[in-house]
Amino acid sequence: MSRLRATTNATEQANLCARLRTVAGPEAVPVLTPLLQDPLTAHAALHALEVVPGHEVTAALHAALAQATGAVRLAIVQTLGLRGDPASAAHLAPLLGPSDPALLAATSLALARIGSAEAEAALERAWIRLGPQGARLIAPAVLLLADMRRSAGQTSEALAWFERLMSSDQPAAIRRAAWIGKLRSAGPRLLEEAAQALTGSDPEAIPAVLALWPEWPVEARTALAIHALSRAGPLTQAAALAHLEYGAGPETAPAVRQLIHEGEPPVRVAAIRALAVVGDASDTELLLQRAAHGVGAEQEAARWALAHMAHPGVTPALIEQLRRASGSVQLELVRVLSARHDTAAVPPLIHVVRTGPASAQSAALRALIELAGPAEFAPLVRWIAEVSQAEVRREGVEFFQRWLERLDPRSLDPSPLLEAMTTTAGDTAVALHQIAGWLRHEGVRAAIRRALTAADPARRSLALEALTQTRDPALLPDLVRECEKTQNPKQRARLFEAAIRLLSEHAATAPESEESRVTALRLLAVADTPALRRLGLSVLPRFPHPDTLRAVEQLRRDDPTVRAEAESASCQLASALADSWSPAEDILATLAAEGTTPAIRAQAADRLRQLHSGWQVAGPYRVQGREGPALFDVPFPPEETGTQQIAWRTKPAASPNQPGHVDLTDLQPGDHCVLYARTGVYAPVNLPVLLRIGSDDGIKLWINGRLVHAHNAIRGLVRGQDHAPAHLQRGWNTLLVKLTQHTAGCGFWIEILRPDGSPIPDLVWDPRGRESQGP
């Protein structure tokens, strides 16, 4: 307050008022009141005074109101309303005049918030005196006052105001709000008032009823729905039907059914949908006829209602009708039972599959993909074993493929399938063996392997058919062996494709598998056509290994028909191996210079630039029982002189534009260890530099063997956390970083700048240093 008295700066005064609001008491009134006369500070002073209790504030505001004009007067009026002191009504009432609409609206709202008898009387006098136009301006305030009376239990006073506001002279939004207030005040007369609103002449009454509809008990909703459906106009009927989704009693159903037959088109559609809520099993036949034979919106509404009817007798009724239905009604029943997702429908759906026409059969199979469970495996196998039509058999095989993808194969008993496989022949046996290929089950696996060694060529041919369809990774070795053995080119191609598919799926979950890599190379060795070699090359990049890259490189050099694909695979493999296997870098250099497409040349060149902008990393190093910070001053081989061999591996920088930024987290060093990183930096001249360094966690940095920075810390990496001066000599400079790893992330960011912080454009970073062909 002392500072507020002393200053005349309006901005400072406003800031001090804001601070006073949280602590001020009556003693602040003499300090804040003078500020009400200045438009620059009045609002800030009012903001502080608004929450100060006591009559002193109210009296000060009354005095200021008498002197104020314009925006300041409006603000004082609003503040008096917010304070709600009944004594303010007498000071506000004279302002309820027509000359200033903004003041009239603000004053009426302030009086409504005060809500005293005197304030209400002032509003009533103004309502009468101002006429229709003025009444529109104070209607929001009157609405607020009426709702306050309703909340206080003064129902008759509230209703009187709501009735006034429902006058046709008022805006639509005011009339609708007044109807809502009237209905909420109706008490035991709610149904009578709501029914009058639904069938009356005021268009704003109907939205008011519908807005309150979800709040009312189900008995009230039911009675109102019956009234509206029997007496209201089409638009109201459609709206009431839509609101039945909030729930209504079964007593509503007869009126809904009548409108399905007699209502206008939009009403019929809404009535059909409403049966999902109020209908029962007896309505299913009517809805089925509309679903099967109706058109447009009515047909869609009937299908929706059948799928969503909640009455417990609906599904049994639909199943019973399915047993005797035919034609389009049967097809519709299959669709509906599928949409209801009720497994009770599975047996009758299987019956349709066995006996129904083609269209219903197809629909039933689509439904069974989601509904059928392991218990239905045996009857469905028996069905497909009996099918004689080729098209139906093909559709059945497709069904099994999609269905078995959803089921856990361990939950199935394959005995019915194994038995059928041995007792059928021809196309049926082929279909059953295709299905067997999709089962990942030991019994099926053993049966296929027995058939592969059988003397009977027909049995062996069926086993090969199962292999070409298999999704069982345990059969991958069998696929590869058969690929290597067969002399039939078409059969080899099918087996090869199946093996590549399985290998791809397995590589997605176990890319580092040595067995999978060897399998991929065996397959490439038997690929005797360009098409098969391309297919083999498509999967090899998933197995980065020097042997894989050598095999791909041989194809790149020897087979011009697949050179483009081999170059792509080589580039991917070499990019993955370049950090750990130096010949991969030479292959990238060859591809960057000799690649047959611009894309391959650019990809190889980009990877080389990334490699040459990177670092070489060694570690992690540990000492049993010591945490990361305790290892900061422990020397490990990379910082010791001598001839000890150190395993350095390449680690690219975060980007070629940030050669000193390296994230080591993906190396998975673990916790409480040390990592080392080294690179070379070429400087065109001798020059002093400023090092800007960030690290996670502690860091030491040597340049040309001289320690230039050390900070033992536990922290996350932030750019420029530390600064240190240093010197670069003309030519190549060796940078060695020691990084302590505590927990979580691991990395560093080193920037080399001029002493004034500006960049040095001529520096070259390359981990090969003097060994490179650099400047």
> What's the CA gap between 79 and 184, in Å, rounded?
30
> Is the Cα dihedral 626, 628, 631, 633 positive or negative?
negative
Rounded to the nearest 5°, which phi and psi values hold at 357?
-70, 170
Residue-level pLDDT at 182: 93
Q: How confident is the model at residue 512 (pLDDT cuts 50, 70, 90)?
A: low
Other CB atoms within 10 A of residue 477 CB: 13
The kind and range of the H/E element at 703 are strand 699-703
pLDDT surpassing 90 at residue 531: yes
Q: What percent of the chain has pLDDT over 70?
A: 98
Residue type, 654: A
> What's the CA gap between 287 and 301, in Å, rounded?
9
Rounded to the nearest 5°, which phi and psi values hold at 762?
-95, 10
pLDDT surpassing 90 at residue 169: no
**209-233 core/surface letters (b: 16 or more CB in 10 A; e: else):** bbebbeebeeebbbbbbbbbbeebe
Query: Mean of the pLDDT values across residues 730-745?
Result: 91
* Residues 604-655: tens digit of each pLDDT: 988 887 777 678 898 899 999 898 899 999 999 898 876 568 888 888 887 7
The radius of gyration of the chain from alpha carbons, rounded to an integer in Å, stands at: 42
Other CB atoms within 10 A of residue 181 CB: 22
Contacts of 138 (CB under 8 A, 6+ apart): 96, 104, 105, 108, 123, 126, 127, 130
Residue 295, token pair as written in the block? 């058109």
> What's the CA gap between 145 and 115, in Å, rounded?
7
Query: Mean of the pLDDT values across residues 35-52?
Result: 85
Residue 313, token pair as written in the block? 């007798």
Residue 555: burial class (beta carbons within 10 Å; 0-12, 13-18, 19+)? buried
Half-sphere exposure of 52 (CA within 13 A, CB side): 28
Half-sphere exposure of 479 (CA within 13 A, CB side): 29
> What's the CA gap between 173 and 160, in Å, rounded?
18
Residue-level pLDDT at 668: 67
> What's the CA gap between 108 and 652, in Å, rounded?
72
Strand partners, 725: 690
pLDDT surpassing 70 at residue 462: yes
**How many residues are there in the chain?**
775
Query: Mean of the pLDDT values across residues 697-715?
Result: 93
pLDDT surpassing 70 at residue 774: no
> What's the CA gap between 603 and 588, in Å, rounded?
9
> What's the CA gap between 60 and 42, in Å, rounded?
13
The kind and range of the H/E element at 686 are none
For the chain, give the mean pLDDT.
Answer: 90
Query: Mean of the pLDDT values across residues 663-673?
Result: 81
Specify the pairing of strand 722-728 against strand 687-696. Answer: antiparallel
Residue-level pLDDT at 57: 86
Residue 8: burial class (beta carbons within 10 Å; 0-12, 13-18, 19+)? exposed
Residue type, 72: V
Q: How confident is the model at residue 361 (pLDDT cuts 50, 70, 90)?
A: very high
* Residues 8-23: tens digit of each pLDDT: 888 888 888 888 887 8
* 3-class secondary structure, 578: coil
How far is C-alpha 226 from the chain's CA centre?
A: 43
Other CB atoms within 10 A of residue 620 CB: 21
CB 607 within 8 A of CB 595: no
DSSP string, 158-203: HHHHHHHHTSTTS-HHHHHHHHHHHHHT-GGGHHHHHHHHHHSS-T
> What's the CA gap between 210 and 206, in Å, rounded?
6
Residue-level pLDDT at 775: 47
Half-sphere exposure of 284 (CA within 13 A, CB side): 27
Residue 132, token pair as written in the block? 């229709």
For the chain, first and last CA: distance in Å?
71
> What's the CA gap between 551 and 538, in Å, rounded?
13
> What's the CA gap between 121 and 101, in Å, rounded?
20
What would the 3-class secondary structure string for 233-248 be? CHHHHHHHHHHHHHCC
**756-771 core/surface letters (b: 16 or more CB in 10 A; e: else):** eeeebeebbbbbbbee
* Residues 81-139: tens digit of each pLDDT: 998 999 999 999 999 988 899 999 999 999 999 999 999 999 999 999 998 888 999 99
Residue-level pLDDT at 471: 87
* Residue 539 Ramachandran class (φ > 0 left, ψ -120 to 50 alpha, else beta): alpha
> Is the Cα dihedral 166, 167, 168, 172 positive or negative?
negative
Residue type, 313: G
Residue 756, token pair as written in the block? 């004034």
Q: Please report where in the chains the tokens 């009758």 appear, as a residue.
A: 348
Strand partners, 649: 617
Specify the pairing of strand 615-621 against strand 649-651. Answer: antiparallel
Residue type, 415: S
pTM of the model: 0.61
pLDDT surpassing 60 at residue 597: yes
pLDDT surpassing 80 at residue 753: yes
Residue-level pLDDT at 643: 56
Highest mean pLDDT among 40-44, 327-331, 646-650, 665-669: 327-331
Q: Please report where in the chains the tokens 């009559």 appear, as a residue.
A: 55
Query: Mean of the pLDDT values across residues 667-684?
Result: 87
* Residues 185-241: tens digit of each pLDDT: 988 888 888 888 888 888 899 999 999 999 899 999 999 999 999 988 899 999 999
Helix spans in 559-706 (H): 563-577, 583-594, 598-612
CB 767 within 8 A of CB 615: yes
Q: Please report where in the chains the tokens 């700066």 appear, as a residue.
A: 9
Of the candidates 321, 259, 260, the residue with the CA atom closest to the CA atom of residue 285:
321
CB 507 within 8 A of CB 544: no
